[in-house]
Amino acid sequence: MRLIYLDNHATTPCDPRVLEAMLPYFTEVFGNPSSALHRHGRRAAEALERARGHVGNLIGAEPGEVIFTSGATESNNLAILGAARGDQTGRKRILTTPIEHKAVLEPFRQLEGQGYELVWLPVDSRGRADAETARRLINDDTLLVSVQAANNEIGTIQPVAEIAEVAHRHGAIVHCDATQAVGKIPFDVGGWGVDLASLSAHKLYGPKGVGALYVSRRFRKGSLRPLVLGGGQEAGVRSGTHNMPGIVGLGEACVIAGEALAGEQARVSGMRDALEERLRSVIPNLQINGDLGNRLPGNSSLSFTEVEADALILNLPDLALSMGSACNSGTIEPSYVLTAIGMSRESANSTVRVGWGRFNTTGDIELASTQIIEAYLRLTSL
């Protein structure tokens, strides 16, 4: 039986069209875009700026506001640590939610260790942060507010624009980890009101090892300090020879995602809903986590109260599922995201994440639901 891949929040397969666009930049257009005095360099430089425009088009940014990085982890670190290092106001209050990705939480904890006041913006049982609570917590000493666009485990989409409005009223910087949202739901930096936004190619059917950071123009001079020093290739904010195959791949992935966005949202959410309906018809106590009315189209966070998630997954050799964030796999501790929304340790450890994506088909619904139900019934009968 073929393997059905349902872990598209961990990573996505590289779209063949993306790979095709990348291949010439390994062997034919191999020049360094910084060497613009000869044809090889100029062709690379043109491709670099073309890709920058493609990323900008998808997120509503100007090309000059797009900084290429090695991925969302670097983008998040550059945004958070770079903004703190570049600050000249003396503000020391920083705010984020407890369900952010570790690539946001760890830089915040580092700043806390350096004397910054780390304030947690709580989330409710759906994983949703509240703008009213943000109003009470954000003040004129707040330097930075970071709220993810959508959660990587439970799929909840956050009211970033409302929180950003509050933050800007106090002159704070707003960062958004948009890694899970870009290419899956409409994400526009202007409409969402963010100053900094992170994204990664491998979460939208592009290659691994490349990402981008949106940096609004007011940060371009002195307000965002680089973490990697060198030639300053990316507007002085990020140094290092450009990964041209990866950057071209990211650009092409953004083009494809933008063209397919509306149709894919409906198609993928339809498959998700169909699977959940089939499972609930047999497993009535199945719990679906997150904000069910406002979540990522391909996300299902499912708690099987009588079965531990690792046992269920091990009994599904033909399905690729996960227990939560792929970046935390291997730990026996329950998901910090699930405990933050009030779930017990037992419930958290019985939770499986299902992530539908571009290359799933309606045929996967029947196959996946049948296998999950059979495994569940087998384990509960032991």
How far CA 54 is from CA of 41, 133, 218, 252, 255, in Å, comes to: 20, 36, 21, 7, 6
d(Cα 319, Cα 236) in Å, to the nearest integer?
A: 45
Q: Is the dihedral of CA 63, 68, 74, 77 positive or negative?
A: negative
How far CA 169 is from CA of 35, 94, 303, 364, in Å, comes to: 44, 15, 40, 47
> What's the length of the chain?
382
Alpha-carbon torsion, ordered 319, 325, 330, 331, to 10 deg: -130
Which of these is catalytic: 14, 176, 254, 327? Answer: 327
C-beta of residue 130 within 8 angstroms of C-beta of residue 153? no
d(Cα 215, Cα 197) in Å, to the nearest integer?
A: 7
Residue 327 is among the residues annotated as catalytic for this protein: yes
Task: Give which of 310, 315, 296 is closest to 376, Cα–Cα.
Answer: 315
Starting at the edge strand that comes first in sequence, how are the strands of the sheet with 66-69 ordered? 66-69, 211-215, 196-200, 173-177, 142-146, 93-96, 117-120
Task: Give me the residue label for tokens 């088009």.
Answer: 57
CA 118 to chain centre: 22
Give the DSSP H/E element, type plus range, for residue 287: strand 287-289
* Catalytic residue list: 327
